Amino acid sequence: MKIYDLSQPLNADCSFWPFYPPFEVKYIKRKAEHGVNAQYIMTSNHMGTHLDAPRHFITKGKTIDQIPIEWCYGPGVIVDLSDQLDELDVFTPADIEKRVEVRAGDILFIHTGWHRYSFLSPDADEEKYIHRHPGPHFSLCDWLLAKQIHIWGVDMISTDHPMNLPIGRFLGRGGLEHWQKVRAQAEAKFGRDKIDELFPESAYQLTHNALFPHDCVHVENLGGDIGRPELHNRRLTLGVFPWKFQGGEAAFCRAVAWA
């Protein structure tokens, strides 16, 4: 079998969640002066390829070190929906099941194609990557629980649709009301009368609020080889390996596939 890296790089140029602090790195020792090179970093947990633990939204939820290692490696699929998804599009469980069989307990990764707009891509577009990515219909949450999935992931900055995030509801600062632009684009796309039906108040951050209490967690900002056609819509072995962060509400991780 061949191993494939499904992770985005992480450095000081990496896109970060709006109003979160950026990634900072500096040398605290250099070879010429100290005989060794050593670096210091300061960062949030929610940038680059990372795994969210239930603690991110649930005060008494599992932390990264409490996620069973058995959940982090095993059979699964990478479903490719990139050919049907554009800005702010919505995908459903039926869209996934048309492409591949998802079995109980699988690791599920969803390739939307949006990683191509991330910070290191030749087509990098930070506003498009953060504000206008596609996302799931709220029915995906019940489907994931029915499939007994503990770990799933996307090649986007969030598993929730922008209209179910601050990005599409109230994000703004200094007169830059991004949410108004996002909502206007969604209304033009779906029709103003359909917005409340597609994105009800009950769906706000639903892939976090509805799934984390059931220990169904996710990886955000997948990338690397995730766009390779030979990995799509077939049975694979997948792995998600965070550092053993005691008490961590999220952690950087390496996501990989074997095929």
pTM of the model: 0.96
- Given a contact cutoff of 8 angstroms between Cβ atoms, the answer to whether 234 and 109 are in contact is no
- Given a contact cutoff of 8 angstroms between Cβ atoms, the answer to whether 10 and 38 are in contact is no
Tokens of 169: 């509801």
Q: Where are the beta strands (DSSP E) in 170-222?
A: 217-220
Give the SS3 label for residue 200.
Answer: coil
Q: Which domains does the chain have, with CATH numbers?
A: 3-9+45-258 (3.50.30.50)
The identity of residue 38, as a single letter, is A
Tell me the CA distances in angstroms from 226 to 6, 75, 78, 257, one per residue in order.
5, 16, 8, 9
The identity of residue 67, as a single letter, is I
* CA dist., res. 256 & res. 11, Å (int): 19
Which residue is associated with the tokens 């039906």?
A: 197
pLDDT tens string, the chain, 259 residues long: the values are 899 999 999 999 999 898 899 999 999 999 999 999 999 999 999 999 999 999 999 999 999 999 999 999 999 999 999 999 999 999 999 999 999 999 999 999 999 999 999 998 899 999 999 999 999 999 999 999 999 999 999 999 999 999 999 999 988 766 568 899 999 999 999 999 999 999 999 999 999 999 999 999 999 999 999 999 999 999 999 999 999 999 999 999 999 999 9
Tell me the CA distances in angstroms from 42 to 21, 26, 78, 243, one per residue in order.
9, 9, 32, 16
The distance from CA 50 to its chain's CA centroid, rounded to whole angstroms, is 8
